[in-house]
Amino acid sequence: MHQDEPRAEAQDEPRTRILDAADKLFYDRGIQSVGMDELRTAAGVSLKRLYGCFPSKNDLVAAYLDRRDTRWRTALTAYVTQHAATLEDCPSAVFDWLHAWFATPDFRGCAFINSFGELGATSQAVTSAARRHKEALLDYLTELARDLGVREPALLGGQLALLVNGAITTAAISGSPDAARDAGAAARALVAAGR
């Protein structure tokens, strides 16, 4: 007799396996480059079950982006709250986390920017997912700016978001994580100037 997993986990284990495979493949190679058949193979799941969990590829893409949004922002905020000793250290911690991400071997830019560039013109769902993600990032950074007691928190928050997005795309295209350092320095200068 084999060991049984807990009920709830076993229940959506296929769904999780599919999402794991989608996350890896879609992020690595882009959405249109990955077929449902390859996805099925990677997830180790039958086509019937794949379409049972996600009625269409669009649904799977939406779920992929949704899960990636929460995971990415959770990882960022967790790192910042854990590694920033003081409030003043928070902006630097953001870019430290980015630097570590950029140095990851399979880093390939922002999934939302990539998806938007690929499908934004044809898929309203992708566009709004990207918009929600970037708005949530902006909200977080604006809140951070507000906590810093800066003169115009909305302005600084927006500028930090520009630096984050610029660093991500630059690091992806250049293939080097250095952009995070320049961005961090710029962020510190902007915070200092905004007081």
Partner DNA sequence: TTTCCTGGAGAACGTTCGTTCTCTAGGCTA
Partner DNA sequence: TAGCCTAGAGAACGAACGTTCTCCAGGAAA
What does the binding site for its own copies look like in residue numbers (CB under 8 A)? 28-30, 32-33, 108-110, 112-122, 127, 130-131, 134-135, 155, 158-159, 161-167, 169-170, 172-175, 178-179, 182-183, 185-186, 189-190, 192-194
Cβ atoms 82, 55 nearer than 8 A: no
Nearer to its own copies, 18 or 180 (CB): 180
The interface with DNA within residues 146-185 (CB under 7 A) comprises none
Is 34 a binder of DNA (CB under 7 A)? yes
Tell the burial category of 66 from Cβ atoms under 10 Å away from its Cβ (0-12, 13-18, 19+): middle
Sign of the CA dihedral with 42 first, then 47, 53, and 55 last: positive
- Residue found under tokens 């250095």: 178
Is 11 a binder of DNA (CB under 7 A)? no
Vertex 180 angle, CA 174 and 183, to 5°: 110
Is 56 a binder of DNA (CB under 7 A)? yes
Helices (H), the chain: 7-11, 13-29, 36-43, 47-53, 57-83, 90-102, 111-119, 124-147, 153-174, 179-193
Nearer to DNA, 44 or 175 (CB): 44
Is 55 a binder of DNA (CB under 7 A)? yes
- Min dist CB 134 to DNA, Å, is 25
Is 62 a binder of DNA (CB under 7 A)? no
- Min dist CB 47 to DNA, Å, is 4
**Which residues contact DNA (rule: CB under 7 A)?**
14, 32-38, 45-49, 51, 55-58
